[in-house]
A and B are shown apart, each in its own frame.
Chain A
């Protein structure tokens, strides 16, 4: 009869950030083991708290399924020796399969006779597999950081302190680091006793009685409902950041939500500072009013019940008071630091051994940003703001606040710059130039922020690529992918008339002063490939079909904005309901592109036209070419595409009327030249041969 199986690994507090992944790993590896062991089962549930990982398998079969299979061995001529007896090869095969040589037989496969063994294995009792399988399962879990403890050899995330392993009502006997598996679990550290689990299905309930909510979703729901009812009671908006909720979820076994307050005079400090301090140091949720303004309260989650909640709140208030006093002290001290003095300190901060100090980087960013502003024909006000922003965009790195909270870089710069009397546009751009800061973030809102942001990011990327730091696989320590994606997003958002190749060129010039370690040509090639993948991501996110993406990227991606517009236009033309009418154009493009490859020049002599179809195609292209260039310059890529498509009639007429590969060389070359001129326009739009269907 099938039984349930429970495994609970009891540990000292596991780092909150590791728990969920470990729980999923435990479930995954349990199922993989069950499947590879031919054990049928009903369902697998996993549970986790800071002190335990657990998995519950319901309806686990009592024994493995029997199997019977034919295994192929060596060919007949190798399996028999000269005398017709079994050869060494055959005997070895029989041994490896655990069958008697007498039981081997021959069977034909694709005209050759092979020796076969009939291998059947009778399923083993589940109970006899578990004592070895469970400890192997436990030690197979991997964690980002492991440790040893006591005098044991095992490296694990934290010390194992108890183990519950129940197969039905029977304990599965095994031991790890001196801990024997049993029936006794542990309740909440301070509220519960240590419950005995008599059978696996009781697990969740027995632990609940001892004040441990082992089900992660149930615990999360409890926290959220506590926060909601508090918000309702006090008419607060409580900002619940997902990553903080996730951390708190794995810091508690029984959650109780409570609130505290702090002195409103701290609200003079910028709101971001207070929120960051509360989150990073104390794991508190901030309280806002309906307008999104921070209120002098906080919300925290206790690992326990509601007993003496006032004592807990008072203690937390005391800690927060000290934290915010520190923040206030840093804030007041930082405001005394003059920007020129801060900039001087940047000379002493090494940015990267091979790329100089932060001050060196700032100088490069200034050079790049100025050139970009010039190239983009920015007006004088913007240019002057760009120069100033670039010069001081990193000054806040030496403030105490940013030292304490690195994620406030830029945010503090904006505040301090404003207080120091910098122009509002400059202050804002200092903050913006870091944007987008993460995947969900927006690019800089102002043009000044956009230009300095692009300059800062391309300086980093070009610098890293120039010394061979190029992201591979999961290795991207300088977050270059995010920065490249940021540049792409900024170019798109601000519709900047700037190609990536121009940008690479400007950045490498700025780096050339210190001497490039690699050939500029190679660096540019690597950056082109790197950025093409970022553009590809943008297209994928816009749900552009993969064949359209390939076709468009086949024509290059240096002009990011037009690449995206080309993709959108091509996607629209090749959509299901329109693709039949577009097909002749696509076919014409492919045919003429193939032939155009044979062209040696683009010189067309109308005097050599032998057929009226040639003349009309050439005339049609001359008109289309003008329309195509204008539409492209105006970023009307749909119009550019339809003007190209309008050539499909004349092209078809041309192919019908003439033999391109004419005997007369002059006539032939003249025809190829016409096709090549058209193909140049077509291939600047897309490689239509990549389209599917």
Chain B
């Protein structure tokens, strides 16, 4: 199964389970969790089921397109279901079967792994899922997001697409993966990997990035003054990515690190709190809709 078929299969599968399938979000981010479709929507009482593929940037993991396992940008397939369904583990295992992974011929295990994102004021409990010893999925029950207790609880399933594909296609090197027949992952992304790595580690303008961080932070706060949750959150995301660029460059000392993370967390907490207020002011529309359908 090529990479594209895997994405289409997962979209099809989770669509069948009642998830709306949306497209990746257009602001740089380190993980699918930061997409507002997850971060904001997992807050508050409204039901929410969504699935999407998310290109995720981790500047520090860039290796100039030379390392067989590490990437500046990788792909996560993200599923959020709120409230978490009682049979969610079975649904997940069914999705693996759809991808051609027959559990009967493999060793699949749920190994404790708790997740925390200090910049988002978020944490949850769950597992990493092992496929013959390889971590292919992060499986998390969100307990807190943006510093707010989750109720009901969302379950987040994050498939590491490259890892899963390297297993399904039996490839040692991520750049040898088949995106579609005849076009490899390397054909699509190697140049980009090289350039972003070079930029991150050698070319990026550190003073400018520090300035950008401050500018984005100020703009996020300004947007918040107008109760504009989404624009404020976009700028918080930009802060987070800028911080990652600075961190990868080694421009932030260990002592300063905590300070920058706290600044991003303060932004996201503010955004989360205001989002909840705004949804409440609107009367939690999806809650009503769900109730109406039930009746």
Q: Write the residues of chain A forming the contact surface with B, with a CB cutoff of 8 angstroms.
A: 12-13, 15-17, 50, 145, 147-151, 158-159, 161, 178, 189-191, 251-252, 282, 300, 302-304, 307-308, 311-312, 314-316, 318-322, 325-326, 329, 348-350
Contacts and interface: CB of A to CB of B under 8 A. Distances in A.
B68 A322 contact: yes
Contacts of B253: 348
Contact of A307 (B83, B105, B166): B105
Nearest to B150: A148
Given A178-B86, A315-B131, A348 B255 contact: yes
Contacts of B110: 12-13, 50
Contacts of B254: 348-350
* Residue among B83, B134, B172, B253 with max Cβ neighbours from chain A (10 Å): B134
A52 to B, nearest CB: 14
A154 to B, nearest CB: 11
Given A13-B110, A147-B141, 11 more contacts: A150-B153, A151-B83, A303-B107, A308-B106, A311-B105, A312-B106, A319-B133, A320-B133, A325-B69, A348-B254, A349-B254
* Residue among A178, A191, A315 with max Cβ neighbours from chain B (10 Å): A315
Nearest to A148: B153
Contacts of B279: none
A315 B134 contact: yes
B1 interface: no
29 contacts: A12-B89, A13-B109, A15-B112, A16-B112, A50-B110, A147-B125, A147-B141, A149-B153, A150-B86, A150-B153, A151-B83, A151-B152, A151-B153, A189-B103, A189-B108, A190-B103, A190-B104, A190-B108, A191-B104, A251-B109, A252-B109, A303-B108, A307-B105, A315-B107, A318-B167, A319-B134, A325-B69, A326-B69, A350-B254
A318 B89 contact: no
Contact of A322 (B69, B108, B131): B69
Pairs of residues from A and B, 5 with the lowest C-beta to C-beta distance, nearest first? A315-B132, A15-B112, A308-B105, A151-B152, A13-B110
Contact of B255 (A17, A318, A350): A350
A315 B106 CA distance: 9
Contacts of A302: 107
B112 A316 contact: no
Given A145-B125, A308-B105, A251 B84 contact: no
A190 B94 CA distance: 12
B213 interface: no
Contact of B132 (A17, A252, A316): A316
Nearest to A158: B125
A330 to B, nearest CB: 12
A150 B131 CA distance: 26
A321 B103 CA distance: 23
A621 B253 CA distance: 67
Contacts of B83: 149-151
Contacts of B255: 348, 350
Interface of B: 67-69, 83-86, 89, 93, 103-112, 114, 124-125, 127, 131-134, 141, 143, 150-153, 155, 166-167, 172, 253-255
Nearest to B81: A150
B134 A149 contact: no
Given A12-B89, A149-B153, A303-B109, A318 B172 contact: yes
A358 to B, nearest CB: 10
A150 B143 contact: no
A421 B251 CA distance: 31
A329 B63 CA distance: 12
A150 B84 contact: yes
Contact of B141 (A13, A149, A303): A149
B274 to A, nearest CB: 24
Given A147-B143, A150-B83, A150-B86, A312 B152 contact: no
* Residue among B69, B105, B150 with max Cβ neighbours from chain A (10 Å): B105
Contact of A319 (B84, B89, B132): B132
A13 B139 CA distance: 12
A254 B230 CA distance: 49
A300 B133 contact: yes
B154 to A, nearest CB: 10
A17 B141 CA distance: 19
Contacts of A314: 132
Contacts of B131: 315
A180 to B, nearest CB: 12
A184 to B, nearest CB: 15
Contacts of A149: 83-84, 141, 153, 155
A319 B83 CA distance: 34
Contacts of A191: 104
Contacts of A348: 253-255
B174 to A, nearest CB: 10
Given A145-B125, A148-B151, A319-B134, A308 B104 contact: yes
Contact of B143 (A13, A148, A159): A148
Given A12-B89, A150-B153, A348-B254, A307 B134 contact: no
* Residue among B84, B86, B124, B152 with max Cβ neighbours from chain A (10 Å): B86
A189 B110 CA distance: 11
Contact of A251 (B68, B93, B111): B111
A350 B258 CA distance: 11
Contact of B112 (A17, A300, A319, A325): A17
Contacts of B141: 147-149, 159
Given A311-B132, A316-B133, A151 B108 contact: no
A160 B281 CA distance: 35
B23 to A, nearest CB: 28
A304 B83 CA distance: 31
Contacts of B103: 189-190
A282 B131 CA distance: 11
Contacts of A150: 83-86, 152-153
A271 B84 CA distance: 44
B86 A318 contact: no
A196 B59 CA distance: 53
Contacts of A321: 172
Contacts of B167: 315, 318
B114 to A, nearest CB: 7
A326 B61 CA distance: 12
A307 B69 contact: no
* Residue among B67, B104, B112, B124 with max Cβ neighbours from chain A (10 Å): B112
A50 B109 CA distance: 10
Contacts of A159: 84, 86, 141
A96 to B, nearest CB: 41
Contacts of A329: 67
Contact of B127 (A13, A17, A282): A13
B104 A307 contact: yes
B107 A304 contact: yes
A409 to B, nearest CB: 16
Nearest to A322: B69
B126 to A, nearest CB: 8
Nearest to A251: B109
Given A322-B68, A348-B255, A315 B109 contact: no
B105 A282 contact: no
* Residue among A145, A307, A319, A325 with max Cβ neighbours from chain B (10 Å): A319
